[in-house]
Amino acid sequence: MKTILVPQGGIIMMTTIISMDDTESASGLAYAAQRLRDGGLVAFPTETVYGLGANAYDQQAVTAVFAAKGRPQDNPLIVHIADLHMLDDFVEDFNETAQKLAAAFWPGPLTLVMKAKPGVLAEAVTAGLDSVGVRMPSHPVAIELIRLAGVPVAAPSANISGRPSPTQAQHVITDMEGKVDAIVDGGSCSVGLESTVVDVTQAIPMVLRPGGITPEQIAETVGSVEIDPAVLPAEAMQIEKPRSPGMKYRHYAPEAPMLVFIGEAENVVQAITAEAARQRSGGMKVALIASDETLQLVKSDIALRYGKRHEVKKFASGIFALLRKSDELNADIIICEGCADKGVGLAVMNRLFKASGFRIIKV
């Protein structure tokens, strides 16, 4: 365990870094759980991305989560549970659809939006909605932390609002050191994209945010699924009141502007080659996030590979780290090769649309 002091406008706030690798990991986790129970903020690893946790019953703690992130108040938080019994206290309707999806995908990267029991959770968790998003993570550290805390844990991704989500402890340290009580370091997140958010309050479940569990998998389990039109870029810009409040904000964004190219591989390589050359001749430092195949063919200043072109899961698990890397290396512009929006590719493209501010070029 390592404690770091950071001056914050005159106040010194201590952030304890707890490593799951060292011999004190058990007592470190017990300490983190105690901090959660006491109203503290604890960042922890999940299989999707790192979360910034608070006791979901504690209004003051939950409000502090919004402050630490700089998160808009109207964007509700996901509540994390360690076992199904925890649902009884704050979920009104764990209906048949929800039960089937939970049986198939929990613990795992799926968030179910269900009707909440009124007046039980801290008000800020649901941001005034009558529903609540719930997830049982599969990461053993996350499950153990929630179990030890003994309370449901409200946790958004542990990044400063608008920045790429953290998939490594160092990302969390960069964004949250000095603003939270503890950061549990559990290594890299395996999925790398946030959970799939599904509204199960209606007869046909609707995907509000694509993620590690695909619409195809959901349809296989419950027969049918709809996808919120806000997920798809063309419509996304015209929707004024998206169903998932989080979808309307520019998100996951690196500091450098970003262009995403989609289409047939040959056309994409050609277009990226031309754009990279044009930007470089204008004196711009170009970061290229692309497949191994494309990077072999195109000159850039910073080459950031996500794997082979067909390795979409690898792309998903690496994309946020690559966006942060582009900033660290002071790229002036990021050029990115997109992927097909099928399966997990839908989630990857959804994040790229948002990270680029919808600067998508179809060639």
Name the residue nearer to Mg ion (CB basis): 157 or 167: 157
209 binds ligand TXA (CB under 6 A): yes
Among 46, 157, 294, 326, binds Mg ion (CB under 5 A): 157
Q: Under a CB-based contact definition with an 8 Å cutoff, are residues 205 and 198 in contact?
A: yes
Partner from Mg ion, ligand TXA, none contacting 51, C-beta within 5 to 8 A by type: ligand TXA
Residue 162 or 263: the one with the smaller Cβ distance to ligand TXA is 162
Number of residues that bind ligand TXA (CB under 6 A): 29
At 343 the three-state DSSP class reads coil
CA distances from 136 to 93, 94, 259 (A): 17, 14, 35
Answer whether 132's CB lies under 8 Å from 121's CB: yes
CA angle 152/165/326 to nearest 5° reads 165
DSSP states along 286-327: EEEEE-HHHHTT---SEEEE-SSTT-HHHHHHHHHHHHHHHH
Identify residue 273 by its one-letter amino acid code: T
Contact status: 244 vs Mg ion (CB under 5 A):
no
Q: Which of residues 64-93 bind ligand TXA (CB under 6 A)?
A: 75-78
Among 137, 150, 203, which residue's Cα sits nearest to residue 30? 150
Residue ranges of E strands in 93-194: 110-115, 131-135, 153-154, 182-185
Determine how β-strand 196-199 pairs with β-strand 206-209.
antiparallel
Residue 184 pairs in a beta bridge with: 18
Q: Which does 29 bind (CB under 5 to 8 A by kind): ligand TXA, Mg ion, none?
A: none
Smallest separation, CB 27 to ligand TXA (Å): 24
Segment near ligand TXA (CB under 6 A); pick from 41-49, 178-186, 213-221, 349-357 = 41-49
Residue closer to ligand TXA (CB basis): 244 or 356: 244
The residue whose Cβ lies closest to ligand TXA is 246
The site map against ligand TXA for 166-205 (x = CB under 6 A) is: ----------------------------xx-x--------
CA distance 154 to 144: 15
Order of all β-strands in the sheet with 258-262: 302-305, 286-290, 333-337, 258-262, 360-362
Question: What is the Cβ-side half-sphere exposure of residue 96, based on CA atoms within 13 angstroms?
Answer: 4
Binding site partner of 55, from Mg ion, ligand TXA, none, Cβ cut-off 5-8 A by kind: none
Measured in whole angstroms, the distance separating CA 202 from the mean position of its chain's CA atoms is 25
Residue 335's binding partner among ligand TXA, Mg ion, none (Cβ under 5 to 8 angstroms by kind) is none
The yes or no reply on residue 161 touching Mg ion (CB under 5 A) is no
Of 134-153, which residues contact ligand TXA (CB under 6 A)? 135
46 binds Mg ion (CB under 5 A): no
Q: Does 279 bind ligand TXA (CB under 6 A)?
A: no
The one of Mg ion, ligand TXA, none whose footprint includes residue 167, by CB under 5 to 8 A per kind, is: none
CB-based burial label for 56 (10 Å; 0-12, 13-18, 19+): buried
Binding mask 113-152 toward Mg ion (x if CB under 5 A, else -) reads: ----------------------------------------
Residue 202 CA to residue 297 CA, distance in Å, equals 48
Task: Please report how close the Cβ of residue 155 comes to ligand TXA at its closest, in angstroms.
Answer: 5
Instruction: Provide the minimum distance between the beta carbon of 165 and Mg ion in the complex, in angstroms, as a whole number.
Output: 5
Structure tokens of 32?
A: 């983190």
Residue 186 contact partner, candidates Mg ion, ligand TXA, none, CB within 5 to 8 A by sort of partner: none
State the residues that interact with Mg ion by CB under 5 A.
157
State the residues that interact with ligand TXA by CB under 6 A.
46, 48-49, 51, 75-78, 109, 111, 113, 126, 129, 131-133, 135, 155-157, 194-195, 197, 208-209, 244-247
